[in-house]
Amino acid sequence: MYFVYVLRTLSNTLYIGVTQALHQRVDAHSRGRGARWTKVHRGAEIVYSESYPTLGLARKREIQLKRWSRAKKEALIAGDVAMLKNLSRCKSVPGIRAERKQLNVA
């Protein structure tokens, strides 16, 4: 089993990572023995985690979460499904895709 996890540091920054041993990894981060990033940003505390059967799936999710905005990550951590949906909506101009399809523009 693999875990994607989110840590919050004392400076309120977020760290996202993947591990097989969640509690040991968080403990290592807390002692400054995890990633270089957590050596600088001390006081890491786990605020969110998900489990995956394979490393590949966990890495894909890690990459996805790292690309999210801070607001979207906070909504995930809070379990705010409505806010997640709102933040996930396409912000592009309505109808632009339909117009492109009609014009055969990629």
Q: How many independent structural domains does the chain possess? A: 2
Q: 72-93, pLDDT tens digit by residue?
A: 999 999 999 999 888 886 555 5
pLDDT single digits (tens) 5-64:
999 988 899 999 999 998 888 777 777 666 666 666 677 889 999 999 999 999 999 999
Inter-residue contact 41 to 32 (CB < 8 Å)? no
**Which residues, in sequence order, are bridge partners of residue 19?**
3
| Residue 106, C-beta contacts closer than 8 angstroms, at least 6 positions apart | 100
29, 44 contact by CB (below 8 A): yes
Identify the DSSP state of 35. Answer: -
Which residues constitute the domain of residue 35? Answer: 1-67
Whether residue 45 sits in one domain with residue 7 = yes
- Planar angle of CA 29, 4, 2, nearest 5 degrees: 100
- Residue 32 and residue 50 share a domain: yes
Same domain, yes or no, for 82 and 101? yes
Considering the domain architecture, whether residues 56 and 76 belong to the same structural domain is answered as no
> Does 83 lie in the same domain as 51?
no
